[in-house]
């Protein structure tokens, strides 16, 4: 666990001695931390060494979100945990810039991850947060990345900031408890609550509110567009958009390609028998309730009214779902599955489940796989019955 640095020690990190320590620790191996700390404390104050080591660990963790920039940035533990992944922030900033936004109030800005992306998109940003340490990190990050002339950082309560005169507001409410860092699922328990953020958004020409992707659709404002975003197949967030001209719309965007599916309000397709192909929609598509739109694209049907798998008789490419060629459709039975996989020499099985209570790892142990071949096993329901589907991903020449 990384100890939270106080403001005085953080300031010392920005001074020449702190910068020297951070440079030494740039490629630091956490496994050698005790020996490294002992060596550095011979020539530097112990609190500064601890702060530099903590910052080095945070930078290493943040590389997954910020890429090469992380090595020059400054973080708090909450900042690393709650910051937007850089490609997602860049996508959102590009949408705001395309709407004509040139000035924006970033409320609950944290360490400034979104402010950096907005500034790089040519937008002047007022970044507001009530945490003094987060604000110090945001200022340091703007300076480190050469964006200080586009980002003003203000330490204040966002509910007391006048956003009149800005082209847009962006609100990223805290969605974790302070005590244990657990996720908050009730939008009204956000800090500030979603209802306050919605009212702040409605007062601006344009707005974007970052919320948890699992938000109930009934909690979404009817006068806004909501976009679910996945990056590399993982659903990262939902964004409630005001001022796009698409009130009530639902959208799924898949990064890094940037494919974006806008809902057409289609009814759920009728279920039917499993065909030769199975489509697994991206998580953002499922969260946005746009499985029907994918089914229409591939001329498909559901395998069950309650399951988000689409099946079709022919392969039709779509960026919004992964296609699998299906070889077997069997009632769920562990012994039969084990015998079939053994007969085919399957040593590697990718086990996916949707609508099944079976745990994939427990099943894998029971299968005792061995052999040179691979297979994908779907544990699901077809027309309400527990079913096993066997197949493999569609190849590039399919």
Quick one: pLDDT band at residue 5, thresholds 50, 70, 90? low
pLDDT digits (tens, 9 = 90+) for 155-172: 999 999 999 999 999 999
281 Cβ neighbours under 8 A, 6+ residues apart: 290, 291, 294, 308, 310, 320, 321
Decide if pLDDT at 56 tops 60.
yes
pLDDT digits (tens, 9 = 90+) for 70-111: 999 999 999 999 899 999 999 999 999 999 999 999 999 999
pLDDT digits (tens, 9 = 90+) for 236-288: 999 999 999 999 999 999 999 999 999 999 998 999 999 999 999 999 999 99
CA 69 to chain centre: 18
Please count the residues of the chain.
398
> Can you give the pLDDT at residue 1?
45
Decide if pLDDT at 143 tops 50.
yes
Decide if pLDDT at 233 tops 80.
yes
Quick one: pLDDT band at residue 31, thresholds 50, 70, 90? confident
Quick one: pLDDT band at residue 176, thresholds 50, 70, 90? low
Average pLDDT over residues 370-384: 96
In which element (H, E) is residue 42 found? none
> Can you give the pLDDT at residue 178?
52
pLDDT digits (tens, 9 = 90+) for 330-367: 999 999 999 999 999 999 999 999 999 999 999 999 99
Instruction: Name the average pLDDT for the chain.
Output: 93
Q: How far apart are CA 89 and CA 66, in angstroms?
A: 10
> Can you give the pLDDT at residue 74?
97
311 Cβ neighbours under 8 A, 6+ residues apart: 272, 273, 274, 275, 277, 278, 279, 300, 301, 302, 303, 326
Top pLDDT among 174 and 87 is at 87
């Amino acid at each position: 666990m990384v100890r939270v640095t106080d403001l005085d020690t953080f300031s010392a990190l920005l001074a020449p001695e702190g910068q020297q320590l951070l440079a030494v620790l740039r490629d630091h191996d956490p496994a050698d931390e005790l020996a490294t700390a002992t060596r550095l404390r011979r020539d530097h104050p112990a609190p500064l060494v601890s702060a530099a080591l903590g910052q080095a660990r945070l930078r290493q963790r943040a590389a997954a979100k910020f890429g090469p920039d992380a090595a020059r940035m400054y973080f708090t533990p909450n900042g690393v945990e709650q910051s937007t992944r850089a490609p997602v922030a860049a996508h959102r900033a590009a949408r705001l810039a395309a709407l004509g936004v040139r000035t924006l109030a970033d409320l609950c800005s944290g360490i400034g991850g979104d402010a950096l992306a907005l500034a790089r998109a040519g937008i002047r940003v007022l970044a507001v947060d009530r945490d003094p340490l987060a604000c110090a990190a945001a200022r340091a990050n703007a300076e480190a990345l050469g964006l200080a002339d586009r980002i003003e950082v203000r330490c204040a309560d966002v509910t007391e900031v006048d956003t009149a005169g800005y082209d847009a507001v962006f609100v990223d409410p805290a969605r974790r408890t302070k005590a244990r860092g657990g996720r908050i699922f009730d939008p009204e328990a956000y800090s500030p609550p979603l209802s306050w953020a919605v009212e702040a958004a409605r007062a601006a020409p344009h707005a974007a509110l970052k919320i948890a992707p699992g938000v109930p659709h009934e909690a979404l404002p009817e006068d806004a567009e909501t976009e679910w975003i996945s990056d590399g197949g993982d659903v990262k967030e939902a964004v409630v958009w005001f001022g796009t001209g698409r009130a009530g719309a639902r959208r799924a965007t898949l990064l890094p390609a940037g494919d974006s599916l806008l809902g057409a309000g289609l009814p759920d397709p009728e279920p039917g028998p499993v065909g030769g192909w199975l489509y697994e929609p991206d998580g953002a598509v499922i969260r946005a309730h746009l499985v029907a739109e994918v089914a229409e694209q591939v001329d498909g049907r559901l395998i069950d009214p309650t399951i988000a798998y689409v099946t079709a008789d022919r392969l039709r490419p779509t960026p919004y779902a992964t296609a699998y060629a299906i070889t077997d459709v069997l009632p769920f039975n562990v012994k039969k599955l084990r015998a079939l996989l053994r007969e085919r020499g399957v040593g590697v099985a990718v086990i996916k489940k949707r609508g099944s209570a079976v745990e994939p790892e427990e099943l894998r142990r029971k299968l005792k796989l061995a052999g040179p071949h691979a297979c994908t096993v779907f544990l699901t329901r077809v027309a309400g019955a527990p079913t096993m589907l066997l197949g493999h991903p569609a190849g590039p020449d399919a």
